[in-house]
Amino acid sequence: MDIKAYIVLALTLFTIGIIGVLVRRNAIIIFMCVELMLNAVNLLLVAFSKMHAVSTAAKALPTFASDAQIFVFFIMVVAAAEVSVGLAIIVMLYRNTHSVDVNFLNRLKN
Amino acid sequence: MNNVLQIAWLIPILPLIGFMINGAGRNVLSKGISGFIGSAVVFASFLLSVYVFIQVKNGNTHVAHYFNFISVDFLKIAFDFKIDQLSSLFLLIITGVGFLIHVYSTSYMHEEPAKDFAKYFAYLNLFVFSMLILVMGANYVIMFIGWEGVGLCSYLLIGYWFKNNDYTNAANKAFIMNRIGDLGFLLAVFWLIAKAGTVSFDEVFSAATLAKLSTTDITGITLLLFVGATGKSAQIPLYTWLPDAMAGPTPVSALIHAATMVTAGIYMIARSNILYTMAPLTQGVVAIVGLTTAVLAATIALKQNDIKKVLAYSTVSQLGYMFLGLGVGAYTGAVFHVMTHAFFKALLFLGAGSVIHAMGGEQDMRNMGGLKRYMGTTHLTFLLGCLAIAGMPPFSGFFSKDEILAAAYANNPVLWGIGVITAMMTAFYMFRLYAMTFVGKFRGTHEQEHHLHESPAAITIPLIILALLAVIGGWVGIPEVFMHGGHRLEAFLEPVFEQSNAITVKHELSHATEYMLMGISVAGALIALLYAWNKFSKYEKTEVPSAGFSKLVENKWYVDEIYNAIIVQPLRSLSVFFNNVVEKKGIDGLVNGTGKAVNYGSRQLRWLQSGQVGAYVLLMVIGILVLFIIQLFL
Amino acid sequence: MNITTLSFILLSVMAVSSGIMMIRSKNPVHSILWLIVVFFSISGHYILLNAQFLAIVNIIVYAGAIMVLFLFVVMLMNLNADTEPVKNYRLQLIGVISGGSLLLVILSALMKMDSKQIVQMKVGDAGLIKNLGNVLFTNYVFPFEISSVLFLSAMIGAVIIGTKE
């Protein structure tokens, strides 16, 4: 399987995530699209790790393929932490404004 | 002679100084002082002109160089004055008649408030200045400066009583028609620059330059110059402004529209005589246009009831005569007629002014009559003027008009025939005017009758002087048939026209033919004169509306209406169109639209700082996009 | 067309279509569910690449914990299709276009690349849990410990933000 296929796939998912962030107004959905983007990146990383596994094995060098997968692991860790904090914030905002509409959250205006 | 060069520049500068003093001080100067200054500067110019004339008569012609006006590439236009026979003659006419009219005006305009009085004299001085520049210029460009200046002053003076809308419309009409002519003049100058590389008279008329110009060039240039002349000197098709220009004060009509400005066209063609002699086609055009104008204006004058309008159409007609003279090659004759016309036409206008003054502002001849009982001097001088214009010997008009008619006969008898008929019409309408005004029963109201009196000295003295000139002025041009060597004017002007005379084939008329021509024209004019005198001394006011040919003539051949329909209305609807569509929607739209666009843009830009997170993300994405594009493809 | 390629294509289609459905559905709960489907398909990809550990961890952590957390919050706010705010149509269009053009730009840059690197699929011991654990606890033990500190701070942060004053 060519690496390009994985690149295209990951890019597509990433773009879908970006479009979702731009199109939706619900804060939670936007958050979820961010998760989607992260996942696309994860997929790409794993694909690259396997690519390295092939290319370096051909040259009989020590493989560092696992490093990318460890990286993915850590991304997941951070994503989890970020989700918990982020959702806590959203809940707080909902408590104050009773809406999750991003357009209402324009405190950065001034 | 150095003296001439030293003083030549003073001649136009003195009236300019008068203009500046009267113009700047119009709020403070009294009427007496401003009138005195205005007249004195012109008189001083007149004295200097006399000196110059005497010098020139002794054979000292000059080109006085002052400074380089334009110096571009090959084109050198210097601010020079050409002092020769033609210009010195015109100088005398302008300053002399001008001075008399200035004196006349001090009395005629005395009812005006002091500020307007000073303004009047300032404009009048400015006019004299421009006219002097026109005749003294040594090249077409300097002449054009004066040309434009007199057009401007004409506008200012016609619209002198600017509070009346009709008068200002008349002023506009004069200026605009002048402008149309000026376009022709300018095109001719450009053509000349392109082909000859110079505009100076001496250089253009030199054999070397003339050899450079093809027949087409010369014909084209002369035709375009003639277009300029039709505008300035009121020929077909640009003559309709002159009758309307009677809206200005009568002395203005006398000076500008009888004696000086309208003769600028003739001066210009006389100056360029060699060019015209080399373009027979243009000469034919000039002759025919001049003759047609003469006839047309004469027919209209037959039926006019306003005393000034009759004189205005008479001026147009006489100018037509002058152009006829130029067209058949009688340059001296045309210039001669300019001189005599200046005398008797100014006289007639000033006399009419005197009558109007006495009648308390009334200008309609149907309400006049029998004034000779009340205004002896005016009556006598006016009669002399009428006799002169009708071409009665031994008055001045006879000699000049006859010279033109003789030359016309030599060229083409048909021209002569029509010219004689026009002369008869001239005699007719002039004596109709005379009789309706001065003879018979008084037809005005009782208050007018009580008000009738002879005018003061400031008015009558110029009349007397002009009448004298009108009587004897023709004696400088006695033709060969009467006295050998009697045509002193022709001898005087010969250096100016010698180039043309060398080329033209002279048609010599036998003495017998000349006597016969003279006899016929004088007899015809006399018959018309007596008939009119007789008919109109018994004039009764009637309300009969005229019909047929009378009606056509009475309404000035509907020329004004035709112009209105063909030119004015389409122009007006074009400008309305421009106003509504281009101005309001286009340009206003553009200007307002810019404002609106800025508004819109700023509203959109406000969005940048809206605090909407979504907007920020969008901008981020767009930024990344741009960066990628730049990085990957550029 | 061998089975590998076929499953790749299948999984890709599933992932992309679920992603699109996720951003299109009005109901937030539906969006969450579609996202879970995406995660499953990505895990499928991981299995195809023989990254076994990650596949399982993806399911457990993402689909299992994170999505459930999302679901709790959505249920808490009682969001459904009616209360969902909809963005201005024009802005939506602009968003789609900019995202789409970003994709196109990068893809076109990609097309210029003519390397032919292939990916090792189905086999390979890079993804085996034994190897991963080995690497994790030898080379990356420090980040591993720090991540526990990260979790601690996240928990404390979430609690502090969440308490009512």
Pairwise CB contact (< 8 Å): C102 & B629: no
pLDDT-derived band at B609 (thresholds 50, 70, 90) equals low
- Residue to substitute from B621, B630, B631, B634, interface C, most C β-carbons within 10 A: B621
- Residue to substitute from B613, B617, B622, B624, interface C, most C β-carbons within 10 A: B622
Whether chain C has a CB inside 8 Å of the CB on B628: the answer is yes
Question: DSSP labels for B495-547?
Answer: HHHHHHHHHSPP-PPPHHHHHHHHHHHHHHHHHHHHHHHHHHHT-----PPP-
| Gap between the terminal Cα atoms of chain B | 81
**Per-residue pLDDT, C87:** 66
pLDDT at B500 over 70: yes
Residue C77: other Cβ atoms inside 10 A: 19
Interface predicted TM-score (ipTM) of this complex, two decimals = 0.88
Cα–Cα separations (whole angstroms), residue C99 to A13, A18, B532, C93, C105: 11, 6, 100, 10, 10
Strand partners, A101: A26
B5 vs A46, higher pLDDT: A46
Please write the tens of the pLDDT for every residue from B272-315. 888 888 888 888 888 889 898 898 888 888 888 888 888 988 88
| Gap between the terminal Cα atoms of chain A | 52
B97 vs B584, higher pLDDT: B97
What is the Cα Rg of chain A in Å? 19
pLDDT-derived band at A17 (thresholds 50, 70, 90) equals very high
Pairwise CB contact (< 8 Å): A4 & C103: no
Please write the tens of the pLDDT for every residue from B357-410. 888 777 888 888 778 888 888 888 898 889 888 888 888 888 888 888 888 888
Point out the least confidently predicted range of B103-117, B178-192, B436-450.
Answer: B436-450
**Per-residue pLDDT, A109:** 52
Report how far residue B407's alpha carbon sits from residue B401's, in angstroms, rounded to the nearest whole number.
10
Report how far residue A43's alpha carbon sits from residue B230's, in angstroms, rounded to the nearest whole number.
93
Whether chain C has a CB inside 8 Å of the CB on A98: the answer is no
**Per-residue pLDDT, C83:** 63
Contacts of C102 in chain B (CB under 8 A): 621, 624-625, 628
pLDDT-derived band at B25 (thresholds 50, 70, 90) equals confident
**Per-residue pLDDT, B543:** 59
What is the Cα Rg of chain B in Å? 29
pTM over 0.90: no
Q: Which residue of A has its CA nearest to B609?
A: A109
Average pLDDT on B555-570 reads 75
What is the Cα Rg of chain C in Å? 20
Please write the tens of the pLDDT for every residue from A77-86. 999 999 999 9
pLDDT-derived band at B545 (thresholds 50, 70, 90) equals low
pLDDT at A100 over 80: no
pLDDT at B600 over 60: yes
Residues of chain B above pLDDT 90, percent: 3
- What's phi and psi for B237, nearest 5 deg? -95, 5
**Per-residue pLDDT, B491:** 77
**Per-residue pLDDT, B444:** 74
- What's phi and psi for B477, nearest 5 deg? -130, 45
pLDDT at A30 over 70: yes
Instruction: Map residue B483 onto helix, strand or coil.
Output: coil
Please write the tens of the pLDDT for every residue from B111-160. 888 778 888 889 989 999 999 999 988 888 889 999 999 989 888 888 88
Pairwise CB contact (< 8 Å): C102 & B618: no
Most confident range (mean pLDDT) of A12-16, B192-196, B232-236, B559-563 is: A12-16
pLDDT at B319 over 80: yes
B389 vs B496, higher pLDDT: B389
**Per-residue pLDDT, B610:** 63
Q: Which residue of C has its CA nearest to A94?
A: C77
A22: nearest CB among B609, B610, B621: B621
Pairwise CB contact (< 8 Å): A32 & C110: no
**Per-residue pLDDT, A59:** 65
Residue B597 Cα, gap to closest chain C Cα (Å): 20
Contact B139, B77 (CB under 8 A): yes
pLDDT-derived band at B490 (thresholds 50, 70, 90) equals confident
pLDDT at B441 over 80: no
Q: Which residue of A has its CA nearest to B614?
A: A22
Contacts of A55 in chain C (CB under 8 A): 117
Residue with tokens 């500068």: B13
Residue ranges for chain C with pLDDT beneath 50: none
Average pLDDT on B36-48 reads 89
Residues of chain B above pLDDT 70, percent: 94
CA proximity to B133, closest of B118, B104, B119, B153? B153
For residue B444 the two structure tokens come to: 């005005």
Report how far residue B478's alpha carbon sits from residue B518's, in angstroms, rounded to the nearest whole number.
13
Residues of chain A above pLDDT 70, percent: 84
**Per-residue pLDDT, C82:** 62
| Percentages of chain A per state (helix, strand, coil), in multiples of 5 | 85, 5, 15
Whether chain B has a CB inside 8 Å of the CB on C99: the answer is yes
**Per-residue pLDDT, A72:** 92
Contacts of C100 in chain A (CB under 8 A): 15, 19
Contacts of A86 in chain C (CB under 8 A): none
Helices (H) and strands (E) in chain A, counts: 3, 0
Computed over every residue of chain B, the mean pLDDT equals: 83
CA proximity to B317, closest of B338, B343, B296, B337? B296
Cα–Cα separations (whole angstroms), residue B24 to B30, B38, B98, B122, B132: 13, 13, 22, 9, 22
pLDDT-derived band at A45 (thresholds 50, 70, 90) equals very high
Contacts of B616 in chain A (CB under 8 A): 108
Average pLDDT on B157-186 reads 85
